[in-house]
A and B are shown apart, each in its own frame.
Chain A
Amino acid sequence: MRRAIQLVTIGFLAATSVPAAAVTFGPSLNINGTVGLVDMPSALTFPDGQTSWSFTGSDTMSGTVLSFQLLPNVEAVIRMQNLRDWNGPGDNQAERSLDLKFVLFQEQGWRPALALGFTDFGANGPLASEYIVATKSLGENFRVTAGLGWGRLGTHNPIGAPFGTRAPQNSNTPGIDHFFAGDMAFFGGFEWDTPINGLTFKAEYSSDAYIGEQLAGFSVDSPFNFGVDYRISRNLNLGAYYMRGNAFGFRVTLTGNPNTPITPPDFGTGPLPVRARTTDSNMATAWAGNAPVRGQMANLLATSLAEIGITIHEVRMRGDTIDLQIQNNRYVQEPKAIGRLARALTVALPPSVENFRISLVNGGLATTTVVLRRSDIEAQVERPDAGPQSYATTQFLDAPNHIDDADFVRDSFPNFSWSLNPQLDVNLFGGSAFTQADVILRGNASYRINRALAFNLAVSQRLIGNIGKGADPSMSPLPHVRSDAALYDSSGPVLNRLTADYLFKLNPSTYGRVSAGYLERHFAGVSAEVLWQPTAQNWGIGVELNYVRQRAFDNMFDLQDYETLSGHVSLYWDTGWNGFEAQVDVGRYLAGDWGATFSLSRRFNNGWEVSGYITLTDVSFDDFGNGNFDKGIALTIPLDWTLPYESRSRTTIGLGGYGSDGGARASISNRLYPIIRDYNQQDLHDSWGAYWQ
């Protein structure tokens, strides 16, 4: 009978099904790892946040490309390419470029998508070009692209130079004078979504004459390039190309989007249902006058909440109010922990307790106190507007570091903890060997005397790798604070950190840290920091001073003669716009140079983060060495984006730092802002959707 019903159901559905909306095939990457044809760009973009890591190669170049859909209409690409024989036979050119593409408008009706793009933005190097390009779909399976290029994309069959002459290439000179200057040339092509699922065929007319390539026997036999793009899965994509009438190229791309996790984000145990009080609930508060009862209740709470990944540090209960200090050990989003705790409190606490004051602790520091009213929770739960209503009725206050007259204080100190993690270090900016990598086993241990004071140890052992091998001796005119990195003995265990760290609060909105010992691989000394950031404020100011001395190359504990005082004033700003956060650090760097570091990151609620920085100091570009100035990018992916487990673990891939002496900061492991950044009101607002989850 049941089967019959199912069949009827299916038949009824099939007979009345709604046709799916017409969908054109998605955009794909070109050999340069940017959205485009074969070697040319197109006016398309990926969905917001889409991040791709491509490995590319042809007879003229090889490299790695990280592309990121910075905003729905802005594509940002970091290219690290090795241009073979660029400077003559056997003399390759390592080029790093930032490419930006701005989509002026998306395709709509008869109107094509239109984009303006810059390759090697802000530098007139070998890859530099500018273009304007339009792309239009013709039916569901065919798309055409046409554009005009300048710079490198204006070298084949130029049709004029409407905006004047272009200065000779010089990647050492940042600037914008070369934009749209020099010869202009036409390029174009098409993409065809073949009947083979996931396979796209492409053909293009290229406007790149490859003028700078110096390969032996190099020639351009044809301006027409051809390629296929094959999507093996949602996260793996291949490209194969036939270029210039005589050469082949390839691209392998790993791709993902923060907004579309590989696994469902909430597959497991749901929250406790809220138990609303009734009108005849016993509101007596006599129980609160009995200290042993309060202590026993707090103990029971601590035990039961540990099972849902929440550690209680301190509790104070009074007739109508409970104060708690909690640490979230499980949930990526803090509001999820707050919500689950609040639900548990509605079940566990006597009806008279109306106010829940929950202080969030991280790294031993109490950050923000979230004040909830139980009657609000009861009135809002399951309602359609529960999300916005709950945020509107919640108070966010700066938390004192401890609760006075607590009924319960977690008695777990001193304690010892440890972890062992594999680590993959990649250096794409490293001298002669273009790509270097190490597989490292890293161990961390912490002996915590109390919530404030801890002794921390970090050691590592390289299992396999080549970072630093074959490095040339540093010729830097600056103190060799980083450029001698290859001289540090890494044949055995390496002591990366051995410090005593004291974290504290000067007042509810001001945090402090003092660290002393072997602060990092290259320096030992004392570091002190103060950070002021009220929780209701979306910006903060910090000051850090480090008095350090350089560590010995071949001995774990000895020191060299070089010592210096470095320090920075830092401004942190959570813009509240699309997850963007900005940071400016101004001060004195390890080599004694003065300057500033500008950082920008985009954070997604589920823990994804893409960040980049540049450092400019009073060191001249020539003295700075490779790269002219310090810059880098990092991609952080949360573990639970890829696996069906709730976990706060994250993996960070960092590309940056030339090993240059200019613009080098001491690497301090427990700076204050990363500890508290998830806990201010702006961050809690952004992820408040998880409160009812």
Chain B
Amino acid sequence: MTRLFTAFGALVILGACSSAGGVNPVFRAVWDRVSPGQAEPETAQTATAAPALTRARIDELNIAMIRVKVGAAASGSILTARTLNGGYATYSSSNQQTITLFNALVTAHRGIGFDLLAVAHAPNDPLAVRTPLDDWPSAVRRDYRLSGTGPDGTVLSVNCAFRIGPPFPITQVEITYETRIVQESCTGDATFQNLHMVEKDGHVWRTAQWVGPQMDQFEIEILEPLD
């Protein structure tokens, strides 16, 4: 029996050691957990709580900014705009996890789980093209492209109907917006609901969107818009 435990001990400890990669990452993670004294020292950034975000600070940075919360996460992460390609704005976190928006429509994300590669939207999609709330179409079609076999990947097509709800003002980093709740119900290759806080002129300030069948919903606050 001792020999058996020795064998399995060796399996765990020596799991794929090499000159290139050191010990295996699983063992490293376990070791760091049981031996916190051996873990990498905290950096200044991790040791000190991030300062509270203020409107003055956002104005000072003068950069498009969103706050994103994934699923039931307790707090959101700040992402700032990095690139704008043909209307597609890609926001990046400090860990270089990225989310791409076309106006207020999430069209892609990377490094957050199961990637959403792209979204094709209708020309009158009010999330993609700012549209006064009174003119929102009753329904639009979207194609969500996910990874799969071949260049085309897997495409899920849905039809989404909008229902404008009651007025509900929201405050985001010291600014209050007179928004209404808009519920979006999508059916087709996937079934889900999105929720948006929209001003009368069609500006979406907060949105909770489906971003893939195996992902939790993204809740996004537009803290500083692109324009």
Contacts and interface: CB of A to CB of B under 8 A. Distances in A.
B97 A643 contact: no
20 contacts: A9-B181, A12-B195, A13-B183, A16-B163, A267-B111, A267-B113, A269-B111, A270-B98, A271-B96, A273-B82, A273-B90, A379-B86, A382-B100, A384-B118, A384-B143, A386-B117, A387-B117, A420-B14, A422-B10, A685-B151
B148 A689 contact: yes
Contacts, number: 183
A426 to B, nearest CB: 14
A441 B110 contact: no
Nearest to A261: B114
B152 to A, nearest CB: 5
B6 to A, nearest CB: 7
A682 to B, nearest CB: 10
A691 B171 CA distance: 39
Interface in B130-165: 143, 145, 147-153, 163, 165
Interface string B10-40: 1100111111100001100000000000000
B45 interface: no
A275 B18 CA distance: 36
Contacts of A690: 147
A688 B147 CA distance: 9
Nearest to B4: A464
A413 to B, nearest CB: 15
Contact of B18 (A273, A274, A418): A418
Contact of B85 (A274, A391, A418): A274
A605 interface: yes
Nearest to B144: A384
Interface in B199-218: 206, 208, 214
B3 A464 contact: yes
B151 A266 contact: no
A387 B26 CA distance: 33
B83 interface: yes
Given A12-B181, A645-B25, A689-B150, A266 B113 contact: yes
A693 B150 contact: no
Scoring A17, A392, A691, A692 by chain B CB atoms within 10 A of each residue's CB, the highest score goes to: A692
A417 B19 contact: yes
Nearest to B195: A9
A270 B116 CA distance: 12
Contact of B183 (A12, A271, A383, A386): A12
Contacts of A691: 151
A381 B88 CA distance: 9
A379 B85 CA distance: 8
A464 to B, nearest CB: 4
Contacts of B165: 12
Nearest to A420: B17
B117 A685 contact: no
A21 interface: yes
A439 B147 contact: no
A439 B113 contact: no
Contacts of B117: 386-387, 689, 692-693
